[in-house]
């Protein structure tokens, strides 16, 4: 069964170019021009990846991303303007897994989609559940529990958490985390790492403003502590 990708972009030329490039790689691609159509398609038949433009008529890409996160964990790759850092941050905070800034090469976009798919497969192919104190990660079910309570996380957040949980109390640099996320030596904007960590703290910490579990080691990176 081929991998299915949903492309959401209101610019016909870009939508067609992205769709053509992905189909050329063997993916099964469906393309729509607005957020309402995207939400309806994902609800009826969830794809493996959503490529989502931030600037859409009607519902914005960020709002579409937020609504998709409310109903599932499909990986989301956002397309953003190069000079719109606020869109990139808002997209990640809404639950996007990654972003590509315009203008971009089709080779870069295809590479990023491949990385998302490989990363998800790697997360699922773990030997078993990871336990760090009262935190449990189950790669097979893509499930996180804290003190017996289920916590919804995005695919990228799961990847970050699984990396930190693989070696509790070891400090991972932002670069190491982004290399795992992008499945590449090229890591681009490492500030995306900080947004993912911030999102995880809101979901996992008793007091996100005073984190005890996901700890910052100044000048070095982040580590996961057992509670």
Does residue 99 register a pLDDT over 60?
A: yes
Residue 209 confidence (pLDDT): 92
- The DSSP code sequence of 64-125 is HHHHHHHH----EEEEEETT-HHHHHHHHHHT--EEEEES--HHHHHHHHHHHHHHHHHHHT
Looking at residues 104-113, what average pLDDT do you find?
A: 90
Higher pLDDT, 126 or 210: 210
Sheet with 76-81: list strands edge to edge.
28-32, 4-8, 49-53, 76-81, 98-102
Sign of CA dihedral 96, 38, 8, 116: positive
Does residue 103 register a pLDDT over 90?
A: no
β-partners of residue 7 are 31, 51
Looking at residues 69-93, what average pLDDT do you find?
A: 81
Residue 189 confidence (pLDDT): 64
Looking at every residue in the chain, the average pLDDT score rounds to 88
Domains of the chain listed by start with CATH number = 4-121 (3.40.50.2300), 127-224 (1.10.10.10)
Residue 184 confidence (pLDDT): 61
What is the rounded CA–CA span in Å between residue 6 and residue 38?
8
Report field, pTM of the whole predicted structure over 0.75: no
Residue 106 confidence (pLDDT): 93
């Amino acid at each position: 069964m081929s991998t299915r990708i949903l492309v959401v972009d209101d610019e016909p030329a870009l939508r067609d170019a992205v769709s053509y490039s992905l189909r050329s790689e063997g993916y099964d691609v469906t393309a729509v021009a607005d957020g309402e159509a995207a939400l309806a398609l994902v609800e009826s038949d969830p794809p493996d990846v959503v490529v989502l433009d931030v600037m859409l008529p009607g519902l914005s890409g960020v709002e579409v991303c937020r609504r998709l996160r409310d109903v599932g964990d499909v990986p989301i790759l956002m397309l953003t303007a190069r000079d719109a850092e606020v869109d990139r941050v808002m997209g990640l905070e809404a639950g996007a897994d990654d972003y590509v800034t315009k203008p971009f090469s089709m080779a870069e976009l295809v590479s990023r989609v491949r990385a998302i798919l490989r990363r998800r497969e790697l997360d699922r192919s773990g030997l078993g559940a990871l336990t760090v104190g009262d935190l449990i990660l189950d790669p097979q079910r893509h499930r996180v529990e804290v003190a017996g309570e289920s916590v919804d996380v995005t695919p990228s957040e799961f990847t970050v958490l699984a990396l930190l949980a693989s070696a509790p109390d070891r400090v991972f640099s932002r670069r190491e985390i982004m290399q795992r996320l992008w499945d590449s030596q090229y890591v681009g904007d490492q500030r995306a790492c900080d947004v993912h960590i911030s999102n995880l703290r809101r979901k996992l910490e008793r007091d996100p403003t005073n984190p005890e579990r996901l700890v910052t080691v100044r000048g070095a990176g982040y580590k996961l502590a057992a509670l």
